[in-house]
């Protein structure tokens, strides 16, 4: 088991290991409207490793470097349902693991505190892998009640340096908070 401190988060890789990054930029794709299209445009212009979160694992048409989810009960099905079967992404989820998925995961990462979303989980994993730049797209956290719950978590993570080098191409409060100096 390896432990990695990222700002105010302690990441414990409790099973498997994180892959070695191949680029300097990690693009994390979420399911907000226009996210997949914006990701494809960004990846066309910028060399990057691509990580999809949650159901976007199934929907993203290009190659994926990482498939990440904090919804450990769903990730196995999303990876199996991918239409692009050219290369299997490195599959990472959080603990506790549901029964029956052990052999289907490449790494299991445990966090010592609450995380705002699977996209933030992917960003923290990207930080642990040494990416100097992490770009979120299709990640807004604007569904009913999300901001009220998640904004204090993201603010604390940003204040403690856990989200240094993380930016968002999507509109909304999350992108503004990540751009802010405080």
What is the C-alpha radius of gyration for the chain, rounded to an integer number of angstroms? 15
* Number of other CB atoms surrounding residue 13 within 10 Å: 18
Give the pLDDT band of residue 31 (cuts 50, 70, 90).
very high
Give the pLDDT band of residue 72 (cuts 50, 70, 90).
confident
First-to-last alpha carbon distance for the chain, in angstroms, is: 33
Whole-angstrom CA distances from 47 to 40, 89, 120, 148 are 11, 17, 21, 35
Q: Which residue has the tokens 């990482």?
A: 66
Q: For the chain, what are the domain ranges?
A: 2-179
**What are the pLDDT digits (tens) for 36-61?**
999 999 999 999 999 999 999 999 99
């Amino acid at each position: 088991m390896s432990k990695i401190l990222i700002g105010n988060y302690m990441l414990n890789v409790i099973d498997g290991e994180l892959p070695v990054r191949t680029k300097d930029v990690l693009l994390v794709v979420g399911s907000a409207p226009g996210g997949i299209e914006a990701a494809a445009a960004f990846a066309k212009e910028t060399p990057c490793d691509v990580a999809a979160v949650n159901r976007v694992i199934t929907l993203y048409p290009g190659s994926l470097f990482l498939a990440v989810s904090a919804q450990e009960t769903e990730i196995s099905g999303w990876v199996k349902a991918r239409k692009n079967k050219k290369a299997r992404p490195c599959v990472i989820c959080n603990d506790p693991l549901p029964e029956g998925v052990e052999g289907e995961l490449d790494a299991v990462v445990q966090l010592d505190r609450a995380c705002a979303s699977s996209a933030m989980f992917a960003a923290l994993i990207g930080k642990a892998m040494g990416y100097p730049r992490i770009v979120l797209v299709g990640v807004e956290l604007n569904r009913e009640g999300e901001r009220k719950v998640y904004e204090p978590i993201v603010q604390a993570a940003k204040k403690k340096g856990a989200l240094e080098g993380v930016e968002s191409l999507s509109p909304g409060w999350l992108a503004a908070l990540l751009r802010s100096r405080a």
